[in-house]
Structure 1
């Protein structure tokens, strides 16, 4: 799992945009030192496309960045929020019946994640993570595929312990490179 600080900023900014007029709006603006929600949304709409520009057409890495918002049908969506999500965040926004079909919502979010990461992430939300009490899901997917500057020799793969969040560890293959090959 990779955490992108900009991805986290974008999700928090969407929360701030949705909380318009509430105390959390000032929290969202203070995270980026923005003076207003308009400035925060403008920052995202201008910075994200530049930072996450797909360079694959020019021989660079392939990069895609996607956001998604799923809201329960019992909640109303203000047209201004819909507009900000569409125009500034370029996010998927869907209303679904969380209360009666929580697993269907979970499957749809997972299908979105799989599509946005070219099949690399098959499960964003595990079984049981969406329940009838869930009202909102915010998701962000980042896909990167690039070529190495130096070719990797597969014979340099070594098995080491990989530590899991639950404290257990498993053996996993790690890429290694002799120190003399690192500098080009």
Structure 2
């Protein structure tokens, strides 16, 4: 059995208003909820996932899948089971994924192939044309050098926020290819917090225990919604440029986060906001996570891809299976804005407005959910539960 290594790194996307992309955004929300809920089964603390990063690299892998393997991957990823439709979707995404506007948004795909290993020409064409991927030959027999080279590429593409995604032990004589997607987002709030207003305030870990954290404060006109169905309030904070935003979903009860998470599919849809003057208090936070995704993907019905039953005959002539899928994520939220990066690895065998009068308060002093969205596509999602 030959092996392939697949790695991804994630950030943000802009979507045109087309049927394919509308369908993708619906699936993107479902996949986000699916992964998040599966992750909760083994996680008690903070959560951070980059669903888009996983979708991109697994969709690229799907381009080489055939038969039942392809069907399971499309279903688990909430994508249409049509190579043509998927290629259309990701061709449009690739065109929109890089942006140097008032925020930084970069995405890159790369396929590292073992010297002399024959990759299917059709797969190469899809990788280059639909996913805008670079293809490079590499000597996997020199495990440290190969890992260092791939990690340097990842680090460069995520401005050094994601490092050491791959260890030399992840590569061996059976490795035939490594597929990588790197995404990075950095944005400034449309209305930044004033640093001098940040002060130590309590963050309640539960109804009784708290810890002092750096709490940022401001008053601004923002999109706000009260959601009785999940007993929570929702606040949308835009970044400069206004097409990327971070949404905070805060339960009214200190221990009410579980109710939000139980209704995650609904929560990830934009509610009917009211633009209103909000007195906002949100803690500064930084979260880093490393996630083994294979058990989660198996729970979502993607099973054959990780076994001897895998059919990746559209990628290479030798039998291949996915050995590992690892995602590393980073998010930092402060007074100026947000930095976010993600790396997912799949190892396949072979301001400035007058202060308005306060109308509501939004004090995130207990566990809450958040997500970063561009257009209608979720880039990052997670929760803050501990410091």
TM bucket by the smaller chain?
A: 0.7 to 0.9
Match of 2:108 among 58, 66, 69: 66
State the structure with bigger RCO (CA 8 A, min sep 6), 1 or 2.
2
CA offsets, 1:47-83, max 9 Å, x none? 3433x34151xxx211001122223235320111111
Matching residue of 2:174? 133
Asked whether the 8 Å contact 2:110–2:135 carries over to 1, the reply is yes
Confirm or deny that 1:11 pairs with 2:57. Answer: yes
Is the contact between residue 54 and residue 62 of structure 1 (CA under 8 Å) also seen in structure 2? yes
Change (3 A) 1:108 1:32: same
Aligned 8 A contact 2:200 2:215 in 1: yes
Within the candidate set 84, 87, 112, 1:41 is matched to 87
The 1:3/1:174 distance shift into structure 2, 3 A limit, reads farther
Larger % of strand: which? 2
Of residues 130, 148, 152 in structure 2, which corresponds to 1:88?
130
Asked if the contact 2:143–2:172 (Cα under 8 Å) also holds between the matched residues in 1, the reply is: yes
Residues 29 and 37 of structure 1 are in contact (CA less than 8 Å); yes or no, is this contact kept in structure 2? Answer: no
**Is 1:27 paired with 2:72?**
yes
Report what 2:185 is aligned to: 144
The one of 99, 114, 118 equivalent to 1:54 is 99
CA distance in 2, matches of 1:122, 1:133: 24
Normalising to structure 2: TM-score of the pair?
0.38
Aligned to 1:109: 150
Query: Does structure 1 conserve the Cα–Cα contact (< 8 Å) formed by 2:201 and 2:215?
Result: no
Partner of 1:169: none
Structure 2: gaps of 5 or more residues: 1-46, 203-211, 220-278, 282-355, 357-387
Deviations 1:10-40 (A, max 9, x none): 1111111122x34322223333442421211
Q: How many residues align?
A: 168
SS in 2 for 1:182: strand
Separation in 1, partners of 2:173, 2:153: 20
Shift of 1:153: 3.9
Residue 280 of structure 2 corresponds to residue 182 of structure 1:
yes
1:175 is displaced (CA, Å) by 5.1
The one-character-per-residue Cα deviations of 1:95-143 (angstroms, maximum 9, x if unpaired) are 3221x21112111111211221233333322353323333332222111
Unaligned 5+ runs, structure 1: 161-172
Contact kept? 2:108, 2:182, Cα under 8 Å: yes
In structure 2, distance between residues paired with 1:106 and 1:119: 16
Higher gyration radius (CA) = 2
Q: Distance in 1 between matches of 2:115 and 2:157?
A: 24
Q: Name the SS of the counterpart of 1:178 in structure 2.
A: strand
Structure 1 residues 39 and 182: CA distance shift in structure 2, 3 A = same
